[in-house]
């Protein structure tokens, strides 16, 4: 009996990225991107010194992996085209080996009843552009738009779901505020310029896609982390949550859907005298080229309170000058990842999108649970018994179902990720997949309990 029934043609599947799954092989023609370079110069920053060359070999094994997608109930799957693979120098000559690979990947998915969702940028800046400043440089925006158009023209006859960026706040936070990614800066002015250029590039790519009159949709993937005040009856806590939301969610959500930046954010940036460089016509491009489809990544909430600790002026202004983070007593945690598990957050996001963003067509584009040391849950038959992941997904899906019942235009659910993959500085520390990848046995794949369960959910269009 199905208790939680989902709408017809609901998208069941998962998401991954090119740089985290494909690997690098002799003769593949791939150029160096920022992650390749960072690993070359500082391999010790990566868990167990495992770099992007040791991603899960999807470039070679995608046909077998697509069969495993079918076995785990996928009717859709999001991947990313690597800019540095398709156009090794970022501009100029297109790599024919990459064209052949992506064409075959797309065709193989379609032939097996799996709709390809393609993302254009997943933190993999071609190194020739990173050397010029990456997203700090306006030249990168122009090159990205050419790259996007190249992708649309090569693959747009078959790919009907496109996304300009995955989590554009991450290059801002990780590269220019909190030193998680290269170039490891702490510079709010640079962070603001990077975020602005990413948003402009997204709108320009949307414009090009619509001008080509292709018969699909184009959107963006945003990690929306609800900002909850410590005390909803405390005006200062509420104000802190509004500012955090404007900085980390609405900074990309508002311009993507509404075509405008949140006034709370603009006021702060002006007050700090850190307005990005804006050329004539930019804001009109952003205003008139909003997305068709919103992808929502949700992992954890953000809990904040009014600023109580002294402001640290060591690195200049920072977002945390306007709020303090708050640890809610009794919160449920994923101890492996250090993240709070709060299933209702996914409902709150979907409700917000319905009530405040025109109920734009959307889907859950990522949601998942990273677990360290998952091998200890492998049974005598060699199957990983990840019932904790089944519980995590099902409890979130209950809230997705509730939001849909209340009218939210949510069209699907993709988990992160299909198979265990390489993850930036964490490498293979935390495993997320429906499918296990055993590095000690030549990247051998095996479906976990959660993958078998997800097939039943997909077949029944509910659970």
Residues with catalytic roles: 366
Which residues, listed in sequence order, are joined to residue 339 by a DSSP beta bridge?
334
**Residue 443 — left, alpha, or beta (φ > 0 → left; ψ -120 to 50 → alpha)?**
left
| Best CA proximity match to 23, nearest among 46, 56, 48, 47 | 56
Q: Which two tokens stand for residue 391?
A: 């519980």
Cβ count within 10 A of residue 379? 9
CB 201 within 8 A of CB 141: yes
CB 164 within 8 A of CB 121: yes
| Best CA proximity match to 357, nearest among 234, 228, 222 | 222
Residue 288 — φ and ψ, nearest 5°? Answer: -100, 5
| Cis amide leading into 183 (omega within 30) | yes
| Best CA proximity match to 126, nearest among 37, 58, 188, 204 | 37
User: In the 8-state DSSP scheme, what is residue 449?
Assistant: H
User: In the 8-state DSSP scheme, what is residue 17?
Assistant: -
Q: Which residue has the tokens 């064209």?
A: 99
Pairing of strands 293-297, 362-366: parallel
Listed in sequence order, the residues at least 6 apart from 46 whose beta carbon sits closer than 8 Å to its beta carbon are 39, 424, 425, 427
Q: Report the distance separating Cα 16 and Cα 416, nearest Å.
A: 7
| Best CA proximity match to 303, nearest among 356, 377, 248, 358 | 248
Listed in sequence order, the residues at least 6 apart from 112 whose beta carbon sits closer than 8 Å to its beta carbon are 66, 67, 69, 70
CB 56 within 8 A of CB 433: no
């Amino acid at each position: 009996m199905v208790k939680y029934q989902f709408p017809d043609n609901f998208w069941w599947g998962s998401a991954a990225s090119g740089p985290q799954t494909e690997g690098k092989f002799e003769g593949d023609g791939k150029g160096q991107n920022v992650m390749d370079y960072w690993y070359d110069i500082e391999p010790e920053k990566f868990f167990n010194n495992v770099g992007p060359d040791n991603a899960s070999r999807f470039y070679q094994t995608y046909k077998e992996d697509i069969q495993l997608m079918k076995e785990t109930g996928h009717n859709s799957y999001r991947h990313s085209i690597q800019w540095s693979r398709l156009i090794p120098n970022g501009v100029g000559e297109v790599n024919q080996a990459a064209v052949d690979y992506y064409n075959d990947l797309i065709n193989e998915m379609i032939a097996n009843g799996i709709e390809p969702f393609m993302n254009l940028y997943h933190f993999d800046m071609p190194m020739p552009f990173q050397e010029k400043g990456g997203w700090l440089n306006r030249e990168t925006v122009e090159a990205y738009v050419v790259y996007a158009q190249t992708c649309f023209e090569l693959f747009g006859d078959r790919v009907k779901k496109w996304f300009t960026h995955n989590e554009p706040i991450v290059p801002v936070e990780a590269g220019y505020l909190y030193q998680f990614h290269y170039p490891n800066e702490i510079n709010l002015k640079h962070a603001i310029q990077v975020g602005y250029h990413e948003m402009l590039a997204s709108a320009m790519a949307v414009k090009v896609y619509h001008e080509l009159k292709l018969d699909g949709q184009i959107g963006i993937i945003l990690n929306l982390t609800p900002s909850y005040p410590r005390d909803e009856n405390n005006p200062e806590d509420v104000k802190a949550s509004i500012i955090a939301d404007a900085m980390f969610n609405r900074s990309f959500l508002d311009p993507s859907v509404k075509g405008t930046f949140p006034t709370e954010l603009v006021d702060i940036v002006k007050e700090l005298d850190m307005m990005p460089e804006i050329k004539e016509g930019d804001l009109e491009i952003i205003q008139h080229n909003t997305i068709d489809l919103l992808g929502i990544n949700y992992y954890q909430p953000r809990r904040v309170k009014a600023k109580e600790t002294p402001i640290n002026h060591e690195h200049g202004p920072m977002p945390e000058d306007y709020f303090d983070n708050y640890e809610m007593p009794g919160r449920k945690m994923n101890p492996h990842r250090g993240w709070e598990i709060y299933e209702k957050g996914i409902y709150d996001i979907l409700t917000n999108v319905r009530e405040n963003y025109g109920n734009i067509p959307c889907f859950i584009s990522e949601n998942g649970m990273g677990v360290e040391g998952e091998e200890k849950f492998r049974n005598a038959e060699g199957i990983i018994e990840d019932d904790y992941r089944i519980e995590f997904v099902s409890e979130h899906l209950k809230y997705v179902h509730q939001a849909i019942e209340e009218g939210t235009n949510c069209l699907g659910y993709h988990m992160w990720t299909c198979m265990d993959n390489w993850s930036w500085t964490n490498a293979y520390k935390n495993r997320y997949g429906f499918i296990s990848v055993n590095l000690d046995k030549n990247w051998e794949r095996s479906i976990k309990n959660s993958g078998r369960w997800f097939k039943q959910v997909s077949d029944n269009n509910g659970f």
